[in-house]
Amino acid sequence: MALRCELGELITAMVTPFDKERNVDYEALQRITRHLLSQNNDAIVVAGTTGESPTLTFEEEQEILLCVKSTLSGQAKVIMGAGSNCTQTAIKSSKLAQEAGADAILSVVPYYNKPNQKGMIEHFGAIAKSVDLPVILYNIQGRTGVDMAPETIAFLAKEYPNIVAVKQSNSNLDLISEIKMLAPDDFVVYSGDDSLTLPMLSLGAHGVISVASHVVGNEIKSMIHNFKSGQVIAATNMHKILYPLFKKIFMAPNPTPIKALLSKMQLIENVVRRPLVELDEQDRLDLRECLDSTLAKLNNL
């Protein structure tokens, strides 16, 4: 069955590197983009939560998109985090993403306002009608305060052909079954949590929008391919190896831990914008030990 829009199975929600003065570091941005290509990513999300979007200006978001798109040179797709809790702001961001050449947009459920399901339908419907780009819905109650119901997701998918997927960040896996039962067959579900990727695949998810793929992208891609090709034991074994790292990467507010690892790999500076703060030394050591242990197990496969 053909998908409504093919954006790939492994998508990284990319960090935004900053220099020591907390300005966007465009040289490091190019470096991390090339690194993600080496990690077998099909697409990259820029200016999402992992990219510290609440602290970025419109101008920075556009420059980041243009820099990443130029560096990718068509080798992977680029998706713009264009959501907002203001519908008109989200429309503006979506239009700017389209003008700058994004391949798709990621649009989060409005946060803080706590809209009901009807409000979500009107919000995302207005965004979908404002652009020709594919739209990925982003459902993450832990950050927004409200959950988009499977019935709402399915209605939007049926009503707007360019609403092509949902990034689902919810540990209630019954919701995945309900979305798959209600939505059109060509509508895509992505796991929004690395640790839930394998169980969601078993329920019909297509792939993951990942944070851990900054450092173990090839292994996550292998896990997805093994599962889909019927090598379930191999996929499960890979999940078990990666699981401690999946959890440790969220030991502090995202993207603080993953930035600490990428700094240790000399890809970026270990800098986040306030109100986030960098990991303390003991947490950095614990995180690095977890990565080293994971890599050692992978080397023994």
Mark whether 158 is an active-site residue.
no
**Number of C-alpha atoms within 13 angstroms, CB side, residue 272?**
25
Both tokens of 234, joined, read 């191999």
Catalytic residue among 69, 167, 221, 248: 167
Q: Is 171 in a helix, a strand, or coil?
A: coil
Paired with 165 in beta bridges are 136, 188
Mark whether 95 is an active-site residue.
no
Cis upstream peptide for 244 (omega within 30°): no
State CA 218 to chain mean position distance: 16
- Per the CB < 8 A criterion, the answer to whether 103 and 7 are in contact is yes
Both tokens of 14, joined, read 């990319």
Distance CA 190, CA 23 (A): 31
Catalytic residue among 69, 77, 138, 190: 138
> Active-site residue numbers?
138, 167
